Structure 1
Amino acid sequence: MTDDLLGRHRSVLPDWLALYYEHPIEITHGEGRHVWDAGGNRYLDFFGGILTTMTAHALPEITKAVSDQAGRIVHSSTLYLNRPMVELAERIAKLSGIPDARVFFTTSGTEANDTALLLATTYRRSNTVLAMRNSYHGRSFSSVGITGNRGWSPTSLSPLQTLYVHGGVRTRGPFAALDDYDYVAACVDDLKDLLGHTRPPAALIAEPVQGVGGFTSPPDGLYAAFREVLHERGILWIADEVQTGWGRTGEHFWGWQAHGRSGPPDMLTFAKGIGNGMSIGGVVARSEIMNCLDAHSISTFGGTQITMAAGLANLTYLLEHDLQGNARRVGGLLIERLRAAAAQVPAVREVRGRGLMIGIELTVPGTDRADPEAASAVLEAAREGGLLIGKGGGHDTSALRIAPPLSLNVAEAEEGADILERALRSIR
């Protein structure tokens, strides 16, 4: 059945639509932190549909909310008042930390970043955008144009002039040997120098932790230091929270809060986890930025009633069960367990991350050269052992990405760490 489905997939879908594993699997159902494939094999899920199943699979509170809403009305578009959309917008605006916030819902993180770019370039009357090296912001024409990761940039054509800034990868690049204080100072000096050679940009867009880039991040405080430089020049700061939001990093509800010395960003974008699998994205912005458009606009599917019902139920569950605290506690145990295991594997260059957002970078032993073959081998070995993880990285996809649902318990974390340790040892 799966082999037949794979053949059908290949005959009608694009060649560039990536599939994991030498023998791709069809996931048929899930419960809690586990999923099952079409062959009946059970897996501990440490990737959550690319950080999207944030609380749990088949969570009764969410499935009931979706079912109840589907029995009333599924969709009406933004041309009509929509109570679930207003209620979720009210909650997100308050949680965002952005003063006088307005919220616009989309169907994905790509579309959310698209919208943020439209707002920033219109508000600032500039099509120049600052972005981080090793970044990823989506697959649309404009978001590809600000993605600083060669593996996810199929074209250099863009409606934007993008200038790439140092700082998103702490352990690589020209400033890697510096201590944190000097690293931040060097990145700020580089930003100031860059701004001295170009017309004023509209905004800097940055992921607090780079997702597709392999869960890399700068020292805490870098974006606060950047914000001070940007604010002096009227340049906006957009925090791409598509992967880092909703408490995944444990220490903070939003990734930007690790850099919060100078206050919240002008805009933040979100998606993935808030819908727990339903298609929700969005932008939060100060009212004068959100309201700067002088043409009509709607969203046909953004904010539709059924996705908003899921988002409300998911957010309520997350807050009432302190899943941010759970990500901090269980994530802390998991990362220490993985660091201890990785210390015995020469191919592991670094174990990094925070909360339940953990990256393991693999290189050719004794060198700094990326080893994507080793990453693929570990991915396969983990699946054979009953664990699903992801891949990423800006250096030939040589990082493993670990991002379980935030309800992961200690026993499951230990089980996953055991499987991953065996998978890592298999490449020695």
Structure 2
Amino acid sequence: MLVPPPLSLYVHIPWCVQKCPYCDFNSHALKTDIPELDYIDALIDDLDTDLAAYQLKGDRRLLHSIFIGGGTPSLISPEEIGRLLQAIEARIPFSDDIEITMEANPGTVEAGRFTAYRAVGVNRISIGIQSFQDDKLKRLGRIHGSEEAIRAAKLATEAGLNSFNTDLMHGLPDQSIDDALSDLKQAIALNPPHLSWYQLTIEPNTLFYSKPPTLPDDDDLWDIFEQGHQLLAQAGYVQYEISGYSKPGLQCRHNLNYWRFGDYLGIGCGAHGKISFADGTITRTVKVKHPRGYLNPQKPYLVQETQVDDSERPFEFFMNRFRLLESCPKQDFIDRTGLALTVIQPSIDWALAKKYLTDNGSEWQITEHGKLFLNDLLAAFVDEE
């Protein structure tokens, strides 16, 4: 029987000052002032629509985390973020230790508002720094400089938040190994509780895709990762997922819920959601992508709703779960997919023989060898019957 897992909420704010050349997220460069009053009203109405459609008002699950992403959510005033959070809490009860994260740009005006965001309920900030080198920031299309990035991290430290994250990229155009490690050393010196350190990838429908820059070769990328991982470990950071490092006990709870195949409502332009029900149904949702459509009262917010078939659930579960380095309780698979272990046993036996996994009787653990062949491992769970 499927046991509905913990519940989170994702809120998408679609606007940015300008579109970065590497970004394939649903973001839109500002051409006029943000219609923030109308957009917050629409987010609240979107949430009401979901709660009614999926009969979640009597669900009794507490909300464990909220992630306000973008775009650049910190373009929205603290007052309107506060109004949104009050409206959410009035509709879904918060857990006592709820994590409420908001992404922010290190721009001077926005960073100075961290204390105001904390006052209205935000208790975790994720700062999109990407690099501390001005030439690299310019190449990435970022609107801030290195001094603003450092200042933003220091302000986050002083704001009294439960935690904050710095987003940092490596493998940047024309980046040397020393450049990449210098960025990482600067980030570590600022002592963020959480650090997302990920490699730049060139995605379709981006400016970098149509005009590819020169990126470090594979040997340099491996050296950057190997030496950077060592620096982070020496500084007391624990890698808990592919690109996530944190001080002990300060992992991003919202992301953990994603990777553990938890549930999340998604409101806002292009937001995705996943909801599980006690009758065994798992539903995925996608909202209207463009702000014009989303704010048009004549259109529904929902543009796509699909059911996750039993045959798809093993792959979806492990595709998420194997992002994490922690072991996976077998009971989690049963509870969150509603399937018996016998459904996947042939694939598990194959993975054990390949030494991609270990099995201690109650948990599976992906091995170092398995991480190197993750695509092969995941392919074993496609279309299980």
When the two structures are superposed, what TM-score results if normalisation uses the length of structure 1? 0.27
More strand by share: 2
Higher relative contact order (CA 8 A, sep 6+): 1
When the two structures are superposed, what TM-score results if normalisation uses the length of structure 2? 0.29
